[in-house]
A and B are shown apart, each in its own frame.
Chain A
C-alpha cells in the first residue's frame, strides 16, 4: 500500500505544511472522485466543485502568506441535517426541499473556523430516521464496497463519501447508531461522542435527549483531529457539556505508536448478550477473534452481562419516537418548508405534513404520538424511560472494573437494498447493539474489524462519559495492529508528500 493511501490527519497536515500537497489538489481530487463515483453511490445531496476549488485556492493563499491553521484547506463533508448557509439543508425530506437556513450549525462554524472547507451535504434517511439511507426523499445511497448493498444509516451519505475516497473527513449525527452502524457497514471509523460533547445547535432535532454530532473518517487519528475541532461548550446549546476538551488527536497518535502495548493491563468487558441470539454468528466470531488478539497483546477480557440489552431496542424506539413526534411538530407549513394550502390553519398543517413527510417519518410520528397520549403515557413512555435508567446502570456496572465495553457494532454486515423495506421491525433490529450507548449517553467508537463474505465488520468500543481519548487511543492501537485498507482518494501523484509522515 502506498504512503498516499495511508495518509492520515497528521500526514495530510504535514504534507500541506510542506507544500507537497496543495489544498487545490485535494479539492480537485474530491471533485474528480465525486464525478466518477457519485453517480452510482449518491453520497451527496449537494456538492459544489467550483465553490470548493475557489475556497481551496483561498486556503493555499492563506498558507502561502504563512497564516495557515493545521487543517487549512482540507475538504470535509457534512450530513444534510446540520444547518449550512452555503447549502440548502433538506434533512433528506421533501418538507425542507430548497430550505436555506439563516444560520450555520455550531459544528459547521467550528469546521470553518479551523480552516476546513465544507465540500457538500450528504444523504441521510429522512430526518435521520433509518438504518440504511433508503428512507431519503432524494433516493438511496449505495455502499461503495458493494453497490448492491446499503451503506447503513442514517449517516450513510457521510460514510459512503469517506469510503469512496471522495473526502477524508465527514460529520454525521448519531441518535441510536447513525454514525457507528454506517461506519461499520462501509469499513470506516465512526465516533459517537458523549451526549453533550459536541453542540447540537443547528443539528435539526430528531430525538433531543439522544442526538449527538459524530465523525466519520478513514482512520482513528483523523477521528481524534476532527472531534478536537468540533467539541466543546457552546452557549447556544444548554445540553452542551463544559468539560474540558482533551487532546483527542494526541491520544490517538499515542495509541497508534504503542500498538499492542496500548492493551497491556487494560480490561475489556465483553457482554455475552452482544454475541448471542440476533447477532450473525460469523460477525460475532470475527469480532471475538479481534478481542482475542487484544487479549494476546495483554488485555484482560472480562465477560459481563447486560440484562437490559433485551429491552434496550424497545425502550429506544419509544423514547426516540416520542421525542420525534414533539420535535417534528414544528414542520407545519407556516414558517418555513413546504406548504400545501388548506381551508384552515389546521387543514394547512395536515396537508403540508401529509405531502412533505415520507412513510418512515409518519410511522415514527404516529408511534411517538401514541406513546405520549393519554392512557398510554405511563405504560409506554414512562416505562421506556425507566428501562433507560436500567440500561445506563447496567453500562456503569459493566464499566466499573473495565476500560471499555467491546461488542460488534452491528449484528450483521451491509444488507442488500430493499431487504428490510417491508419490515420496519427487521430494520429497527439492526440497531440492537448501538442503542445502549445512545440511551446511556456514553461515547462509542466503531473501527473496522475484518470482513465476512467480503463485507466490512465493525467493532464497537463503549466508554464511560467523556472517555473519548481512551477510546481513540485503544482504537488507534487496534488500527496499528490490524490496519484496514484505506480508500483511494486519487492522490497518488502526491505519494511522495507523506513519506516520513506519521506512519
Chain B
C-alpha cells in the first residue's frame, strides 16, 4: 500500500525514543532498535485498516450491557443509565494500602523531591 513503506521506514530510533518518553520508559539502545523494527512492522500491517470503508460508522467506544441493541450501546445514555448514586461507602484500609508502598512516611507515600524549598 502506498505510504506504508515510508511510514514503517520512518519509525526509527528517534521516534521510538520520543514515544518512550511519553510513556515514561527508559529504553536501552538495543531495546530501542528492536522496538523500532517491531512497531514499524505492526503499524505497516495495520495499514489494512485504511482500506476498510468506515464512512458514516461510529467508533465503538462502548460494549457490554445493551450491546444487543447497537443504537443503545452507542448512545450517550448507555453508561449513565447504570451509574450508581454518589454516596460515601467503605473504602480500603489506609494502613493495608500503605503497607505495599515502596517508601512511606506514616500516612504518606514518600517520593523524591518534586518542588525545592526556597
User: Which residues in A have some Cβ–Cβ distance to B below 8 Å?
Assistant: 99-103, 194-196, 209-210, 235, 238-239, 241-243, 308, 310-311, 314-315, 317-318, 325, 329, 332-339, 341-351, 353-354, 357, 359, 362-363, 365-367, 369-370, 373, 379-380, 382-390, 392-393, 396, 424-425, 428, 439-442, 464-466
Contact = CB atoms under 8 A, between A and B. Distances in A.
B48 A238 contact: no
B114 to A, nearest CB: 5
B65 A325 contact: no
A338 B31 CA distance: 20
Contact of A348 (B65, B79, B111): B111
Contact of A241 (B19, B24, B64, B74): B64
A241 B65 contact: yes
Given A195-B63, A196-B64, A318 B79 contact: no
A317 B114 CA distance: 36
Best-surrounded residue of B39, B50, B112 (most CB of chain A within 10 A): B112
A336 B109 CA distance: 10
Contacts of A390: 52, 54, 57
B1 interface: no
Given A102-B96, A238-B83, A311-B52, 17 more contacts: A102-B99, A238-B79, A238-B84, A318-B46, A318-B49, A336-B101, A339-B102, A342-B112, A346-B24, A349-B24, A351-B26, A369-B23, A383-B54, A389-B59, A424-B38, A424-B41, A442-B67
B20 interface: yes
A310 B27 CA distance: 33
Interface residues of B, number: 56
Contacts of B23: 325, 353, 365-366, 369
State the majority secondary structure of interface residues on A.
Answer: helix
B101 A239 contact: no
A241 B64 CA distance: 7
B64 A386 contact: no
A4 B57 CA distance: 53
B117 interface: no
A425 B114 CA distance: 41
A313 to B, nearest CB: 8
B100 A99 contact: yes
B49 A367 contact: no
Given A195-B64, A335-B109, A369-B19, A329 B24 contact: yes
15 contacts: A102-B93, A195-B67, A238-B79, A308-B52, A311-B52, A315-B49, A334-B111, A336-B100, A336-B101, A344-B114, A369-B22, A373-B22, A384-B46, A465-B65, A465-B67
